[in-house]
Structure 1
Amino acid sequence: MGKGAILGSAALALVSAARSARTVATWRTVRPLPEAPLDKGKVSVVIPVRDEESTIDGCLASLRTQRHSDLEIVVVDDASTDRTVEIVRQHVAEDPRVRLVRTDGPPPGWAGKVHAMYRGVAETSGEWLLFVDSDTESAPDLVGKLVAAAARDDADLITTPGRATVPNSGWWLLLAPTNVLLFDTASPDGSRGKAVGIGHCILVSRAAYDRTGGWRALSGEHADDVAFATAVRDAGGRTRLVDGMDSITSSGLDSFGAVWRSQRKSMVAGGAMVGGPAAGAAALGLGGLLHIAYGVAPVLMSLRGNGFVRLAGLAAWAAQAAAHRTYMVASHQSGATAVLAPVANATFGAQMLDAAWRSVRGGNLWKGRDIR
């Protein structure tokens, strides 16, 4: 057995163990939403939409059931071409708390979603701003529990992912390794790296929003959720990731294909922020190859290696499985798929290669727009 094989095997096992330990420890710091809601302060909900006819009705219907007494809901249409506006107008006619703002799309230099949220905030008056995606549906106490979490944690920003409505392979093949990568560079409380923000659901105080310069300061940002949470943190605000998955669901990730397209869009957008499409493609390509190796190597070492190499491969496999199991359980799903964590890491690497190719090719990358 060569010295290089031993060192490489040991390095893989150590890296896998370190990443797993960080993921497990990080999730232990994520607290659930409080049991009791807090009905205090006006909350302004802003929903950016673009061709969301399949989801916006359920989103608005659930928000209209909120028990929070002082609530306004502003839907900002980003040049939809389907029945989205028609559906929203039905809710406007039925509930005075719901309003519609229409735009012709973002001006030069603005990302579409960011511009829509910026326009929405201008139409609100609440001391709290709640940004939700149109593919979410909320339990009646979601708003009150988010406000209660902000009070409990003395936080300026509270964010939570949505629970899957249809658990599927996209969660353990793509989202689990994404979560591990996220916690390599970001933290739930913003204490290291970037602050975690989940675009599904972000509650922020207007005072903290104003201190950041608002969405105007992030006008061209396509990876807007983490960027916004980090801006709030950097402006002196306290940010917290919480587990609110008992109170909000997301149907936008209900199939492997939907997860793949959504993640690829975020990768392309995030890569472009590195230094343009070419630099982003290079970073994504390298990351993809590394993740494929990260997933394939433990399997080959465990099945074909001998002695220390096999033990190191098994240790790396077990560590990767532990990280993935933690995420799946945190997402209120079965952790049984964790044994296939190396397959997930390799699949995630393939997705990064796809995103690298899309970064070079450009074109219609998300709802008719090039988001590089």
Structure 2
Amino acid sequence: MLPAITATAILLFLSLLFWMIYLTKTLFDYKKLPKLQENKLDKNKESYPFISIVLPTRNESHRIKGCIESLKKQTYPNFEVIIVDDSEDNTVEIIKNIVGNDKRFKIIKENEKHDGWIGKPHALQQGSREAKGEWLLFIDADVSFNEKLVENAVQHAVKNSLDMLSVMMSVLCKTFWEKTVQPVPIGLLLFLVPFSRVNNPENKASFAAGPFILIKKRVFNKIGGYEQIKNKIADDVELAKLVKESGFKIGLAHAQHLIKLRMYRNLREIWEGWSKNIFMGSIQKRGIKSKTLQLLLALLGLFAVFDVMVLPFLATLVFLTLNLLKPSAAWQNLFLLSISVWLLSTFTQFYVHKKYWVGEPRYTPLYFLGGIITMGILLNSAFKTLTRSEVTWKGRRYKSET
């Protein structure tokens, strides 16, 4: 009994230390990133670079409306939209009804994929070949944005002499499971990714968010486009890494006030979506080929999520119950320790997620549920990767190869 209690106390202290570091790190990162600012456009349309917006779609009938309407309302005067579709539902019909006779929009059918390609990179590569723009803007169907987004993003990229720009966006969560699960993996990414170093050309840190990547077409072609990362699950992160390693300047900025992302609608989508990339994307980014190291990374991830997301709440309940059943100074002290850690984690996540516009922060007391489900997702993702099983996403099956 004593060794178990001692181990639990040590784990709680580790969790306490983690949340103190988490708060410091995420707030430091937040302050280091610039915010997209609104500037007045020159009235001369020709003075602005032509932008080719590339949008891949597959069975997006439930969410494409907001994205297309956002594109139509953009104030930027010089752009085209290339929609690369591979849908089996009525996505195209919905798009056509919204677009009408707007000549800026073009819909093409996605070509058959060759061996080694996965869905999204293939569609983006095909769209880039059709693009006439000086800049390419890759977006996803699950975003909606302010009419000034493209205008402000282009101004920021040009003003700062960037070759590639991605942005931080607000994460919408509407259903119960979105509100309790989605913020957990996203919140952990806020800790794991060194956002404050991305904008430093002298530092190798890189990052991009797939729903919004603005890149010079010349640079995209020079690095070989998506051909170089055609089988990468986390294609956005890999593209940023490739661009920076090739000597080009990348940028990351706050745009939560301008762009909204709703990744998944229910628990099934959350499970499938994160199972697809939470583990495989991590080891692909780090180039970990050894199965032993992959297994160790999976176990470390499970332990970490349990320690910081689940244990504080679980220990609070256990030690409260023990102290009520058999009052003692030991149970009382352990209860006070565990509830202190849980309250710190709850406050920290509430504050940080509110600042980064992630989900609905008032649900933070229930994030221990999200932690349990995230552990299940990580276990599922690691199992499929280690056994080279197939992962399913949007009706497609992908081999889990590293």
Which TM-score applies when normalising by structure 2? 0.79
Provide the C-alpha distance between the structure 1 equivalents of 2:97 and 2:314, rounded to a whole number of angstroms.
57
1:108-164 per-residue CA deviation (whole Å, 9 max, x = no partner) reads: 011111011011111112222111111222322111011122245443322235445
1:36 equivalenced with 2:63 (yes/no): no
1:64 equivalenced with 2:78 (yes/no): no
Give 2:322's aligned residue.
none
Contact 1:194 1:226 (C-alpha < 8 Å) held by counterparts: no
1:67-126 per-residue CA deviation (whole Å, 9 max, x = no partner) reads: 11110111112x322223444455676122111222233210111110110111111122
1:297 equivalenced with 2:315 (yes/no): no
Q: For residues 184-199 of structure 1, what are the structure 2 equivalents within 5 Å?
A: 184-188=191-195, 189-190=197-198, 191=200, 194-199=205-210
Contact 1:197 1:225 (C-alpha < 8 Å) held by counterparts: yes
1:366 to 358, 370, 393: 393
Q: For residues 196-275 of structure 1, what are the structure 2 equivalents within 5 Å?
A: 196-267=207-278, 269-270=280-281, 273=284, 274-275=288-289
Contact 2:168 2:256 (C-alpha < 8 Å) held by counterparts: yes
| Percentage of identical aligned residues | 23
Decide whether aligned partners of structure 1 residues 204 and 323 sit closer, same or farther in structure 2, where only a CA change above 3 A counts. Answer: farther
Contact 2:113 2:122 (C-alpha < 8 Å) held by counterparts: yes
Give 1:288's aligned residue.
302
**Aligned-partner SS, 1:34:** coil
1:45-71 per-residue CA deviation (whole Å, 9 max, x = no partner) reads: 001112223333442232122111110
1:50 to 50, 53, 58: 58
Give 1:176's aligned residue.
183
Provide the C-alpha distance between the structure 2 equivalents of 1:214 and 1:93, rounded to a whole number of angstroms.
31
**Aligned-partner SS, 2:254:** coil
Decide whether aligned partners of structure 1 residues 216 and 91 sit closer, same or farther in structure 2, where only a CA change above 3 A counts. Answer: farther
Decide whether aligned partners of structure 1 residues 110 and 87 sit closer, same or farther in structure 2, where only a CA change above 3 A counts. Answer: same
| Higher mean C-alpha displacement, 187-196 vs 198-207 | 187-196
What residue identity is the alignment partner of 1:299?
Answer: F
Provide the C-alpha distance between the structure 2 equivalents of 1:343 and 1:232, rounded to a whole number of angstroms.
38
Query: What are the ranges of 5 or more consecutive residues in structure 2 without an aligned counterpart?
Result: 43-47, 320-329
Contact 2:210 2:236 (C-alpha < 8 Å) held by counterparts: yes
**Aligned-partner SS, 1:80:** coil
2:165 to 149, 158, 181: 158
Contact 2:163 2:219 (C-alpha < 8 Å) held by counterparts: yes
Give 2:371's aligned residue.
345
Q: How many residues align?
A: 371
Residue 204 of structure 1: how far off its partner (Å): 1.7
Contact 1:296 1:346 (C-alpha < 8 Å) held by counterparts: yes
**Aligned-partner SS, 2:117:** coil
Give 1:320's aligned residue.
345
1:17-65 per-residue CA deviation (whole Å, 9 max, x = no partner) reads: 2233212322233333212365621111001112223333442232122
1:182-231 per-residue CA deviation (whole Å, 9 max, x = no partner) reads: 23432334256742211111112224323432211111111111111222
CA RMSD of the aligned region, Å?
Answer: 3.2
Give 2:45's aligned residue.
none
Give 1:19's aligned residue.
22
Provide the C-alpha distance between the structure 1 equivalents of 2:54 and 2:171, rounded to a whole number of angstroms.
22
Decide whether aligned partners of structure 1 residues 211 and 183 sit closer, same or farther in structure 2, where only a CA change above 3 A counts. Answer: farther
What residue identity is the alignment partner of 1:205?
Answer: K
Residue 244 of structure 1: how far off its partner (Å): 2.0
**Aligned-partner SS, 1:130:** strand
Q: For residues 38-187 of structure 1, what are the structure 2 equivalents within 5 Å?
A: 38=41, 40-77=48-85, 79-88=86-95, 94-164=101-171, 167-187=174-194
| Higher mean C-alpha displacement, 1-10 vs 187-196 | 1-10
Residue 331 of structure 1: how far off its partner (Å): 1.2
Provide the C-alpha distance between the structure 1 equivalents of 2:98 and 2:335, rounded to a whole number of angstroms.
61
Provide the C-alpha distance between the structure 2 equivalents of 1:181 and 1:73, rounded to a whole number of angstroms.
34
Higher-Rg member (1/2): 2
Which TM-score applies when normalising by structure 1? 0.85
Contact 1:46 1:130 (C-alpha < 8 Å) held by counterparts: yes
Contact 2:67 2:141 (C-alpha < 8 Å) held by counterparts: yes
Provide the C-alpha distance between the structure 2 equivalents of 1:292 and 1:216, rounded to a whole number of angstroms.
38
| Higher mean C-alpha displacement, 178-187 vs 125-134 | 178-187
Query: What are the ranges of 5 or more consecutive residues in structure 1 without an aligned counterpart?
Result: none
Provide the C-alpha distance between the structure 2 equivalents of 1:58 and 1:166, rounded to a whole number of angstroms.
15
Decide whether aligned partners of structure 1 residues 121 and 234 sit closer, same or farther in structure 2, where only a CA change above 3 A counts. Answer: same
